[in-house]
Amino acid sequence: MTSSRSLSTRRHAALVSLAGVALLAAGCGSESLTPAPTTVVSSDANQPDGASAVVPASECQQTPATGHVDRMGSGLSFRNGQIRVAVTPLPSTTPAPAPAPEIGVPPVAPIPSAPPSSTANQVKSQCFGFGRWGNNDPSVPPDSLLFSFKGGTNDGAQVSFFVGDLTGGEPPPPPGERRTVTPLVAPINAQVGVSVNGKYYSATQCSLKITAMSSAKASGYFQCPTATTSEANPFAPSDDVPYDAEDSTTPTVAPPAVPGAPAPVPTTTTAAVDQAALSGWFSVSP
């Protein structure tokens, strides 16, 4: 896995760590959504491990109600809210490693395999719901906003983005000062992470359409074409897993050389990395 992915995982872990100082679990809000009301999902820390909060798929296809979008990015505080995240597994694109050739035998070209059937390509998407969690203030110094949600012990989701993308590249104004900016029409880039079924998926290139952002409400919907799994899960931190452990390619140590024998060819092992597409929405209120 690339170093940029490693930096992204560190960033996600740092944001969640800062946002979770207060560890304030809260129930979901009762905001109306379009087109239909949703099932309430609370952030219940007593939910058993491995029991992700699966909700009807139709809930992930909804969009939150629109509201005023204040591009100041300051003075925000929310106690209630919810998120819906659809996780759609993607077929693996990593080919299986070829066996090492025998000494003195020329390698044989691989035989192309038949394309997988349409049935084999079918993947099951699941929709998950979590309640708002963490600090009431979503600001994470020096330059981010983070919205966190949690369900079972190790399950949860988070949406973060640079506050400069909201303010148009300008830092938030001092308290009491207003600044005139154009309306936010286009989606912005966001980072989305979700921990479900014992796996943590994270994506750094997500399209986030903000539908409301003010002291009364914050909401938006997102799409992430590709999210990858990581051993470092910010919702289940472990001292046994370093945050650069997702570097999946490591050289295999060769055994001691035998006098008179040909030198072995060094091999490389590649850990399997699951991928998924993420989509959904979030909505929070005071």
> What would the pLDDT profile of 82-92 be if each residue is shown by its tens digit?
999 999 999 86
pLDDT digits (tens, 9 = 90+) for 262-277: 555 544 444 456 899 9
CA distances for 162 relative to 62, 159, 172, angstroms: 25, 11, 12
Residue at 249 is within a domain: no
Q: Which residues contact 201 (CB under 8 A, 6 or more apart)?
A: 87, 193, 194, 195, 227, 228, 229, 230, 274, 276, 278
Residue at 97 is within a domain: no
pLDDT digits (tens, 9 = 90+) for 57-79: 999 999 998 999 998 888 899 99
Nearest to 279 by CA among 220, 233, 234, 235: 220
Cα atoms in the 13 Å half-sphere on the side-chain side of 6: 12
User: What gap in Å lies between CA 150 and CA 194, rounded to an integer?
Assistant: 10
Q: Please report the pLDDT score of residue 192 as a whole number.
A: 97
User: What gap in Å lies between CA 194 and CA 227, rounded to an integer?
Assistant: 9
Look up the domain containing 193 and give its range: 3-91+123-234+273-285
pLDDT digits (tens, 9 = 90+) for 127-181: 999 999 999 999 998 899 999 999 977 899 999 999 999 988 766 667 777 767 7
Q: Which residues contact 255 (CB under 8 A, 6 or more apart)?
A: 264
Residue at 189 is within a domain: yes
Q: Looking at the predicted structure, is the pLDDT value of residue 19 above 60?
A: no
Residue 279 token pair: 């989509």
Residue at 103 is within a domain: no
Residue 188 banded pLDDT, cuts 50, 70, 90? very high
Flag the least confident range among 73-87, 104-118, 189-203, 224-238.
104-118
DSSP state letter for 159? E
Residues β-bridged to residue 131 = 150
- pTM of this prediction? 0.65
Q: How many other C-beta atoms lie within 10 A of the C-beta of residue 245? A: 16
Residue at 109 is within a domain: no
Do the strands 188-196 and 249-251 form a parallel or antiparallel pair, or are they unpaired?
A: unpaired
**How many domains would you assign to the chain?**
1
Tokens 């929070």 appear where?
284
Write down the mean pLDDT value for the chain.
73
The single-letter code of the amino acid at 122 is: Q
Residue at 96 is within a domain: no
User: What gap in Å lies between CA 237 and CA 231, rounded to an integer?
Assistant: 10
Residue at 254 is within a domain: no
Alpha helices in 118-215, H assignment, sequence order = 118-121, 163-167
Q: Which residues of 107-136 are buried (b: 16+ CB within 10 A; e: fewer)?
A: eeeeeeeeeeeeeeeeeeebbbbbbbbbbe
Q: How many other C-beta atoms lie within 10 A of the C-beta of residue 227? A: 26
Residue at 133 is within a domain: yes
